[in-house]
A = this chain, B = another copy of it.
């Protein structure tokens, strides 16, 4: 392995580039991006060694596709058309059904590995790229059996090298579960931000009265709409279903309050406290 191409030099792809380079300094990391300023920034920040274009992809040993999930499904078939037989291409998107379907019958399907490294921050762009973003985080790999043996092995070695634990799932299960534990959190946070901004005309007051609790709950509302809109679109059915359930639970809570049933309010919270034990393992 010598030439690594990162398509989309933002938080996710950029952080992966940094870790891979730290591990294998002999590799050359090329960046491809529609945003020229991001490429320049990525070079300056040493996230990539130099910039490249699709016409260079025939020299690629590894391609990391880290662009929004709607463009990923369009670009992936083109990329597979261009790479050599020995090249591994993996994506890092937060939805897995559409991308797997997009290359289902592609002659180079075996060069592709569908991955979802579950990690990130609320920041974006090359300057958001950081070392060790993936350490001790989970990487969900879908349809592993459709990837060539040697490339499975290469990917596994790389992911373990940057500190990830691997889980295998089918794309349907992935998209359903990730709607629960990731996509819903983002919506709950965005809508919390919206509700408070609407109510508080005086922003100085929000700043002064909000404690760290509000800050942590609303943190995800800083996330990139460019990245998240296509995720919600691709995972619409699962997201709408879990959002429905969330709204129902909130409505029930409100009804208990309206009915002065604070014993039930207490019981609800007491039961949910059990989330402590579940979270104890995270991070």
A221 vs chain B, min Cβ distance (A): 5
With both beta carbons as reference points, the residue of chain B lying nearest to A70 in the complex is identified as B262
- A200 contacts across to B, CB distance below 8 A: 177, 180-181
Size of the chain A interface, CB-CB below 8 angstroms = 94
Q: Is A172 an interface residue (CB 8 A)?
A: no
- A186 contacts across to B, CB distance below 8 A: 213
Q: Is A146 an interface residue (CB 8 A)?
A: no
With both beta carbons as reference points, the residue of chain B lying nearest to A228 in the complex is identified as B269
In the complex the two chains form, is B213's CB within 8 Å of A246's CB? no
A1 vs chain B, min Cβ distance (A): 28
CA distance A180 to B186 in the complex (A): 19
Contact residues of A between 10 and 44, Cβ < 8 Å to B: none
Q: Is A55 an interface residue (CB 8 A)?
A: no
In the complex the two chains form, is A222's CB within 8 Å of B275's CB? yes
In the complex the two chains form, is B251's CB within 8 Å of A247's CB? yes
- A213 contacts across to B, CB distance below 8 A: 120, 122, 182, 185-186, 219-220
- A193 contacts across to B, CB distance below 8 A: 272, 275
Give this chain's copy count.
2
In the complex the two chains form, is A279's CB within 8 Å of B222's CB? yes
- A282 contacts across to B, CB distance below 8 A: 207, 210-212, 214-215
CA distance A164 to B272 in the complex (A): 32
- A199 contacts across to B, CB distance below 8 A: 180, 242, 245
Chain A 239-276 per-residue mask, 1 if CB under 8 angstroms from chain B, else 0: 11011111101110110011010100110111111111
Contact partner of A254 (CB less than 8 A), chosen from B215, B216, B220, B247, is: B247
Residues of chain A touching chain B, judged by Cβ–Cβ distance below 8 Å, are: 118-122, 137-138, 140, 165, 167, 177-178, 180-182, 184-200, 203, 205-223, 225-226, 228-230, 232-233, 236, 239-240, 242-247, 249-251, 253-254, 257-258, 260, 262, 265-266, 268-279, 281-283
The 4 closest A-B pairs by CB, nearest first: A225-B269, A185-B217, A193-B275, A181-B210
